[in-house]
Structure 1
C-alpha cells in the first residue's frame, strides 16, 4: 500500500558527535547529544524507543532492547555547517562551495551601499551574539535610528531594530533591499530580520524574526513534489530557508511547542505529500546561548509532544526526525558545530529495529522521500526505501 504522508521534522542543531572533517571547520570534541543528556533536565523516552541511543557512535548511553523504528546517523557532505546548507542537503542539494562568511565584518563598500539604500547609518558590523548585540548597541540605535547590522560564523547578514523605532514591515523591506545587494561573491545564505522590544538593559528579541534566503541553485525535493501535484506543507522557518520556492502552504509558528502543536494539528488534515517542519528553538535559544539545561528541557518537552504525535499517526504515515547541523552547548564559542546528525524513522510501514548505519549525505532523506512518492528527482543521495519499508 502506498504511503500517503511523510512528516519530516528537523530538530535544528541536534547534532550527535564530531564529523570526520570537524577540524576543517574549527571544531574538535563536539557532541550536542552527549552534552544535553548530561543534564538532569533531559528525558526523551519516545526518541529512545524509536532508536536514538542505538545509533552508531552513541556509546555513552544504553540503547533500546527492541527499537520500534529504523535509525541512522548522517554525515553532511556540503561545505558548511549552517542552516541553509544543512536544509538544502536534506532536500537533495549538496553545496560544493561554502557560502561566504565575514569573520571581520562586511567590507566597507558593502556597508556604504547598504547605508545608501537604507537611508540610515549602520552600527556594529561585526560577528556578534544576537542577544548581546542589542544590549551593546540598542541604546545608540534608539537615539540615532541607525540599524544594527551584524553577522556570525554562518553565512548571514542580520539586521536588528527596535519595533518602536523601525516598524516590522519597514525592517522586512530593508532586508529585501539587502537581499538584492548581497549577490555574486557576497551571496550570503540568509538576510535575517531581528526585531526586538523593551527598554535598556532589558531588551528582548521578538518572535517576528524573518529570514530572506538565497534561492536554492537547483530543484529541491519540495519542488519535485509540488511539480507532481503533491502537498508541500512547511511548518516554521522552512519556507524562509527555501525562499518560498516549492512551498504549497506555509504554517507560521512561535517556538518549538507551538510548532509541534501545529504539526499535530496537520495530522487531522487529509493530504498526500510532505509536511516539512523546523523547530528552531534548540539552536536559537539554547545551542548558541550555550544553555545546556535549557536545551535538555526543550528536548524533553519535544519528546512529550512527540508521544502525542506518534499516537495520532495513520496507517500510511511515516515520521522522519533529523537535524541540520550541531550546536554543542558545551563547545567553546557560540557557533554551530560540524557534527553527525540523527535520523529516526517511525510508522506502521517502517521496519522496526533496522540500523541504517552511517549515511554519507543528508540527501539520502530527499532520495527516500522521492522514492516513497514515486517522483523523478535528481540528487546524489541514495534512497533507503528498500531497507526501511515493510
Structure 2
C-alpha cells in the first residue's frame, strides 16, 4: 500500500479463486479510473486467459491503517449458459438484483437492479421491494459478511451482523405476503475464527420459509448449489436448467 501511494501504480494480486484484483487508494487512483482499468482487464481476460471475475478493490487511510471501502466492484464473465435469471426474464417475470447480484451475473437476466454496498442498505432495500407489487424473484446479496468480517476474520463483527439480520428478519416477516417464499443460502464458507484470509470449507445453510413452504422438511445435504436454482425454475414453471435436482415437491411448491 505504501509503495502504491508513493509510485501511483495500482496493486495487482490474485487469490485461490478465479479472480484478478486491482487495488488502489481512492486519493491516488479515483474510483472511476480504477473501474475503467478493471473494464480493460475484463476485456483482456477471456478465452484462454479467462478468469471468473475482475475485482476493483478501493481503499482509504494511511500506511499502517489502510481500510477497504464499500465501493468494491466485480466485473464478471458472462454466464456460460442459461441461468434462472434468464428463464424468469424471458417469461416476463420481474428479476430484481440487490447488492452484488448485478456484478456476479454481468448484468444479465435482471429487469431491475439496486447496487447496495452495505448490509444495512441491502436490508432496507429488501424491505422496500417486498412492499412493492412485483411478480418474480428478489435476489439479495448481503455483501459485508464476506467483505468485512469473513475474510478479515472479525468474529465479533460477524456475530453482530448475524444479530442484525435476525432483528431485520422480524420486519421481513411483517411485510411478507401469503404467496411469498424466502430462501436463505450462501455460496461458500468464510469462518471468521479460522486462520488466514481465504474461504473455508463449511457446508452452507439452506433454509426455506413462507406460507407456501411445507414446514419441518429436512432438505438433507445437497450435491450442488444448482438444486436451489432448479427448484425455483420449477416453482415458477419457467423451464428446466441444465444442472440441479429440484426439491420443489418436498416443499409443497407445486
1:152 to 10, 15, 28: 15
Aligned to 1:234, the other structure's residue is in SS state strand
Aligned to 1:195, the other structure's residue is in SS state strand
Task: After TM superposition, give the deviation of residue 328 of structure 1 in Å.
Answer: 1.5
Please identify runs of 4+ aligned residues in structure 1 that moved more than 6 A: none
Larger radius of gyration: 1
Residue ranges of structure 2 left out of the alignment (5+ in a row): none
1:264 to 99, 114, 127: 127
Tell me if 1:242 matches 2:81: no
Task: After TM superposition, give the deviation of residue 338 of structure 1 in Å.
Answer: 2.6
Aligned to 1:358, the other structure's residue is in SS state coil
Name 1:314's counterpart in structure 2: 177
2:41 to 164, 178, 190: 178
- 1:299-338 mapped onto 2 (5 Å cutoff): 299-338=162-201
Return the structure number with greater relative CO, CA threshold 8 A, min gap 6.
1
Task: After TM superposition, give the deviation of residue 197 of structure 1 in Å.
Answer: 2.1
Query: How many equivalent residue pairs?
Result: 253
- 1:160-309 mapped onto 2 (5 Å cutoff): 160-309=23-172
Native 8 Å contact 2:233 2:241 kept in 1: no
Native 8 Å contact 1:156 1:191 kept in 2: yes
Residue ranges of structure 1 left out of the alignment (5+ in a row): 1-137
- 1:23-102 mapped onto 2 (5 Å cutoff): none
1:365 to 208, 225, 228: 228
Question: Deviations 1:234-291 (Å, cap 9, x if unpaired)?
Answer: 0000110111111111112131121111101111111100000111211111111122
Question: Deviations 1:131-154 (Å, cap 9, x if unpaired)?
Answer: xxxxxxx22222211111111221
Name 1:127's counterpart in structure 2: none
TM-score, normalisation: structure 1? 0.63
TM-score, normalisation: structure 2? 0.95
Q: How far apart, CA to CA, are the structure 2 residues paired with 1:301 and 1:267?
A: 18
